[in-house]
Amino acid sequence: MFENEYTWGKAVLQNKTDDFDLKFDSAIDSIQNQFGKKYPNFINGEEVFSDEEIEVRCPSDTKILLAKFPKLNENQTKKAIVSAKNAFTKWSTTSYEARAKIFKDVADKFSKKKFELAAWLCFENGKNRIEAMNDIDEAIDFMRFYSYQLEKNQGFCKQTSHPNPNEKTQTIMKPFGVWGIIAPFNFPSAIAIGMTTGALLTGNTAILKPASATPISSYFFVKELINRVPKGSVNFVTGDGVVVGRTLIDSPDVDGIAFTGSREVGIAGLRKFSEKGSKPFIAEMGGKNPVIVTKNADLDKAALGVVRAAFGYGGQKCSACSRVYVQKDIADKFTQKLLENTKSLNIGMPWKRESFLGPVINEDAIKKFENAVKLARKDGKIIFGGNILKEKEHSSGYFVEPTIVTNLPEDHKLIKEELFLPFLCVDTYDDFQEGIKLANKTEYGLTAGIFSNDKKQIQEFFQKIQAGTVYANREASATTAALVQSQPFVGWKGSGSTGKGAGGENYLQQFLRSQTQTLCD
């Protein structure tokens, strides 16, 4: 049976958070002597280096060089595609039981060294230690849960009935071939590993391209996997998205793409990939996620849930809350509690125990923040934040204040466009129907939340909200932190291309196509 790793949650439940912190502190000490190393790519099972390199620097302190990775060109990327194509027959004919065992073994390896892996993540993309551990746990959960699903469904082979006893029939799900995996910076372990596991576990071969800012976490996964599968079954390539990513999408030898990133890039990739034929393109493409707070809400719970959802990992989650609609009757009280909670957030080095909020990912994010603040000051009212932090420990990193804005027009750019920043827009409404209407007024449909103690309102919210992953009265986080198996993560509208949730029972079948087989006596 599948069981979530749930490291931090178990530590809280068992009153062992001090033990968690001690192990994390030890892991931080142990990894720092590994900073600055050169790492290879993997093509056809072999290590590959290049003359041009990508420097991976810590966004909390850019003076820290974490690693160097190859910067591949188009021809090297094409070699990875060829190797994946050549490996397909051998890997796809490996039994589903053997494939599942490989990924369960890798999950066990990750579990044993999860504190070191999470410590790396703190430095690599700026997640605090709890968020980093959750990222690693999710990667472990994906490997185990998908393996469990493959075994439970017997490799997705099912006998079917036929009225003629002389005809024996069955349906079987078969892999497509070569998959390109294009992963984002914000979950460099969980999302990269989850998508790649989905492709490989079902018998496809894969080329994994991590985000250039965060290749370390997925490198550890491929390193663990590379000698367990036939040569070429999994390939690991780093480089510019306009070179490596484009080559994967343009190639006629790539049979499927799994992508997580912005809506603009995802839609453009989907159109390009499918312009010469129908091929699967699994895309999760962000959100502009709302929370409705009603006059029937527990305002303490609502304020805390919104702050955690909006500012956890600096709003750099597809599921982050970026819009709050508050009933006018309680707007002042809620806003006061929202400000109190936001003011209490500790902004610092994410690997430290006391830090809640670390840096944004890079200089481009800083520029986007500056532009958003200018617009907010021009067209609305900033009631908290709006500043870039450059003093003391923040001087060499990409630190900004969590920012709360009010008085924006309901169709304003800041309310409509995904920012991927710790930037929260607050608006008010009169009656509940208006609140739902405002929440649904978006091209996205990933996550949404409500705070109300009225059961009829909650039920109506669940019926009418246009989002794939929704929550009611969730103090832990109003819109984020979905758990594998329990809360399959799925986007509607412009947030996703398939309507099938990662971490859910339907996810693996996206990497497969059905064949009906008939044997006549």
Between CA 152 and CA 157, with CA 155 as vertex, the angle to 5 degrees is 105
Is-contact 404 384, C-beta < 8 A?
Answer: yes
Q: What does the pLDDT read at residue 403?
A: 98
Q: What is the pLDDT of residues 431-449, one digit of tens each?
A: 999 999 999 999 999 999 9
- Contacts of 166 by beta carbon, 8 Å cutoff, 6+ apart: 520, 521
| Whether residue 399 has pLDDT greater than 90 | yes
User: What mean pLDDT do residues 114-127 have?
Assistant: 98
User: Sign of the C-alpha dihedral, residues 208, 213, 219, 221?
Assistant: negative
Q: Which of 58, 122, 124, 318 is catalytic?
A: 318
Residue 226 confidence (pLDDT):
97
Residues with Cβ within 8 Å of 275's Cβ and at least 6 positions away in sequence, in order, are: none
Is the CATH number 3.40.950.10 carried by domain 289-483?
no
> What pLDDT does 181 receive?
98
Distance CA 458, CA 345 (A): 29
Q: In the annotation, is 284 catalytic?
A: yes
Sheet holding 469-472, edge to edge: 381-384, 403-406, 423-429, 321-327, 289-293, 447-451, 469-472
User: How do strand 444-445 and strand 423-429 relate by DSSP bridges?
Assistant: unpaired
Position 183 pLDDT exceeds 90: yes
**Tokens 């049979």, located at residue:** 255
Annotated catalytic residue within 116, 131, 284, 418: 284
Q: What does pTM read for this prediction?
A: 0.97
At residue 456, the pLDDT reads 98
Alpha helix (H) ranges present in 32-177? 74-92, 96-112, 114-125, 129-152
**Domain boundaries of the chain, sorted by first residue:** 8-29+73-285+498-514, 289-483
What pLDDT shows up at residue 206? Answer: 98
**What confidence score (pLDDT) does residue 1 get?**
86
| CA gap 482, 324 in Å, rounded | 19
Distance CA 431, CA 329 (A): 10
Q: How high is the pLDDT of residue 276?
A: 83
What's the whole-number mean pLDDT along residues 255-284?
94
CA dist 28 → 116, 215, 350 (Å): 7, 19, 11
Query: Quick check: 7 and 137 in contact, CB under 8 A?
Result: yes
Candidates 181, 207, 178; CA nearest to 195 is 181
Check whether 277 has a pLDDT greater than 90. no
pLDDT tops 90 at residue 21? yes
How many CB atoms are located within 10 Å of the residue 120 CB?
Answer: 27
Token pair 């024996």 is at which residue? 168
Q: Is 318 a catalytic residue?
A: yes
pLDDT computed for residue 67 by the predictor: 98
Mean pLDDT on 126-133: 98
For 287-346, how does the pLDDT look when each residue is reduced to its tens digit (9 = 90+)? 999 999 999 999 999 999 999 999 999 999 999 999 999 999 999 999 999 999 999 999
pLDDT at residue 80, as a whole number: 98
Mean pLDDT across the stretch 464-480?
Answer: 98
The kind and range of the H/E element at 11 are helix 7-13
| 259 — pLDDT class (breaks 50, 70, 90) | very high
pLDDT at residue number 127:
98
By C-alpha distance, which of 256, 4, 9, 6 is closest to 148?
Answer: 4
* Mean pLDDT value across residues 259-265: 94
Q: How far apart are CA 230 and CA 237, in angstroms?
A: 17
Residue-wise pLDDT for 24-33, tens only, equals: 999 999 999 9
Percent pLDDT > 90 in the chain is 99
93 CB-near residues (< 8 Å, 6+ apart): 203
DSSP-assigned letters across all residues of 412-475: -HHHHS---SSEEEEEEESSHHHHHHHHH-SSEESEEEEE-S-HHHHHHHHHH---SEEEES-S
For residue range 193-225, list pLDDT tens digits in order. 999 999 999 999 999 999 999 999 999 999 999
What is the third-level CATH fold of 8-29+73-285+498-514? Aldehyde Dehydrogenase; Chain A, domain 1 (3.40.605)
pLDDT at 152 over 90: yes
**Mean pLDDT over each residue of the chain, to the nearest integer:** 97
